[in-house]
């Protein structure tokens, strides 16, 4: 990582640029979380220096799942039958999942207001 600081960035005359072969970024909707899948060192430098926008190379849209599943932080449930589907392994990930629902609900409300 220290070598990346020495070799990448405007400060050393080598501004960070997106390289399609090296930089893979997956956007998870509706959370709007980007997961870097490749090129970790140089991508980290770009995050720190904020020199260039990342290009999303793939997208994982969880939106349809919110119509089928919900969690109480202990279990995941089928939305229609309230049947327990699986125990939650990480309360933090369950919270993030439900934050996605809030984001989705808020964006739908915003669309209704504009209509």
Residue-wise pLDDT for 82-111, tens only, equals 999 999 999 999 999 999 999 999 887 766
In angstroms, rounded to a whole number, what is the distance separating the alpha carbons of residues 4 and 41? 6
Block residue for tokens 């070598």: 3
Same domain, 68 and 50: no
The total of structural domains in the chain comes to 2
Q: Are residues 68 and 109 in the same domain?
A: yes
Phi, psi dihedrals of residue 102, rounded to the nearest 5°: -60, -45
Strand-pairing partners, residue 78, are 69
The answer on 88 and 76 residing in a single domain is yes
DSSP 81-113: T--EEEE-S-HHHHHHHHHHHHHHHHHHHHHHH
Query: What domain range is 81 assigned to?
Result: 63-114
14 and 41 belong to one structural domain: yes
Residues 45 and 73 in one domain: no
Taking the whole predicted model, whether its pTM rises above 0.85 is answered as no
């Amino acid at each position: 990582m220290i070598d990346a600081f020495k070799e990448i960035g405007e400060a050393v005359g080598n501004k960070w640029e997106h390289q399609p072969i090296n930089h893979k970024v997956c956007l998870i909707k509706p959370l709007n979380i980007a997961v870097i899948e490749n090129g970790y060192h140089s991508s980290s430098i770009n995050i720190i220096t904020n020199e260039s926008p990342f290009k999303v190379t793939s997208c994982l849209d969880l939106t349809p799942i919110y119509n089928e599943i919900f969690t109480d932080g202990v279990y995941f449930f089928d939305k229609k039958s309230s049947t327990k589907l699986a125990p939650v392994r990480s309360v933090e990930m369950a919270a993030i999942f439900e934050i996605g629902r809030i984001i989705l609900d808020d964006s739908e409300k915003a669309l209704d207001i504009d209509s």
